[in-house]
A = this chain, B = another copy of it.
Amino acid sequence: MENFTFQSPTKIIFGKDTEQQIGKETVEYLNNNKLNKKILLHYGTGSIKKTGLYDKVIASLTEAGVEFTELSGVVPNPRLSLVKEGIKLCKDNEIEFILAVGGGSAIDSAKAIAAGYYYEGDTWDLFEGKAAVKKALPVATILTLPAAGSEASPASVVTNTNTEDGKDRKLAIRTELIRPVFSILNPELTFSLPDYQTSCGAVDMFAHIVERYFTNTKNVDLTDEMCEAVMRTIIRNSNLALKDPKNYNYRAELMWASTLAHNGLLGTGRQEDWSSHMIEHELSAMYDIAHGAGLAIIIPAWMRFVYMNNLQRFVRFAVNVMEVKPGKYTETIDKLEHKETFDEVNIEETALKGIDAFEEWLKNINMPTRLSEIDINDEKFKEMSELCCGNNEIGGFVKLSKDDIEKIYEIAK
């Protein structure tokens, strides 16, 4: 196990009708921190109005005496341009608190506004690493789409569609300063999600664990077991929620899983990977596809490219997560540790069966698993690989060069 620091300060308020606490929670936070009772209400393109959530939020805030300025229009792969608009709105209106209502896009956009507010230069500098975030506005959230885990994470991913070279870029910042102060999670708010979004969300949260589970760090017994527990839960409950979308229990499991997959807990003490996310980010920056769908295509391809580097880990994934035979992991690993008594071919076969089973789950929840299914050809493979890492390497589990990344896009074709 490696040394680590962990904390998960975001107050999670989880359950039925919890959105009605938004006014009370907000005003309590503003009072405790001696902030203006003016907030920015930040959301997407209006689905919260259709579902009635908007009215409930407004009523609760108004009752609590909180003034709000609205900024709607956040789109998937949230745009830097709207972030800049948000910063200006906050400054013009003496706003010191941002409430994001929506999924990862609305929350990431709110975090970017929060981070950019106190920075005097171009907010994009923070994403390009030219400057560090030193101070940020507090952000709170009402989550409507369990997926990104942004409701309790210290990260924000934003797309810049106005770069100097004219190419869209998608980059991330990561700092404790933008971790939400509280997040309201009501699984009922996800009953109306289209199947496609439910599935994209399940893949996104699963992917956050994949990036942590595939590690070369030895002796991380507890986090291995917990990663497996959460991955199994996501598979089981995504299958069930698609069949019965208004079932509170399945929706609740998925929603809590999305937070735990990405609040840092499952990565404690382990080297993480994150290649698949970086490779997918180039894809969704280039083609503006849903992040979850992109991950459903990239992760199996990444797995097929890297699995031989650590067969034991892929066997463990196969047996403990995808429930591929043979039997329990402990028996398998005993054999792996004494290879003389074990047929090597079976190890590779088991590892591959695990990847196949993972892909099978993706197909079951109607996710694309090849680029051709979403009409993307090989035209930009080289360009995306170059943009992804240039002459550097990415990845903790297996180091990848731009040539490797191009091969992964090829496998995903």
Using CB atoms and an 8 Å cutoff, list the residues of chain A in contact with chain B. Answer: 1-16, 18, 218-219, 221-222, 225-226, 228-230, 232-233, 236-237, 248-249, 252-253, 256-257, 260, 265, 268-269
Contact = CB atoms under 8 A, between A and B. Distances in A.
B230 A225 contact: yes
A196 to B, nearest CB: 23
A15 B7 CA distance: 15
Nearest to A234: B222
B256 A268 contact: yes
Contacts of A257: 222
A9 B269 CA distance: 18
A218 B268 CA distance: 29
Contact of A260 (B11, B221, B222): B222
A329 to B, nearest CB: 11
| Residue from A2, A7, A222 whose CB has the most chain B CB atoms within 10 Å | A222
A189 to B, nearest CB: 14
12 contacts: A1-B249, A3-B16, A5-B11, A6-B14, A7-B8, A218-B249, A219-B253, A221-B233, A221-B236, A221-B253, A225-B233, A226-B226
A230 B265 CA distance: 13
A11 to B, nearest CB: 4
A219 B237 CA distance: 11
Contacts of A237: 221
B5 A7 contact: no
Given A226-B226, A252-B219, A15 B4 contact: yes
A219 B248 CA distance: 9
A359 B16 CA distance: 39
Contacts of A228: 229
A204 B194 CA distance: 45
A1 B229 contact: no
Given A14-B5, A15-B3, A225 B219 contact: no
| Residue from A6, A219, A269 whose CB has the most chain B CB atoms within 10 Å | A6
B222 A226 contact: no
- 5 nearest CB pairs, A to B: A3-B15, A225-B229, A219-B249, A9-B9, A7-B11
A7 B9 contact: yes
A253 B1 contact: yes
A7 B268 CA distance: 17
A14 B225 contact: no
B9 A14 contact: no
A111 B228 CA distance: 35
Nearest to A14: B4
A5 B9 contact: no
B13 A5 contact: yes
Contact of A3 (B4, B14, B219, B269): B14
A252 B14 contact: no
B14 A268 contact: yes
Contacts of A249: 1, 218-219, 221
Contacts of A7: 8-12
Contacts of A16: 3
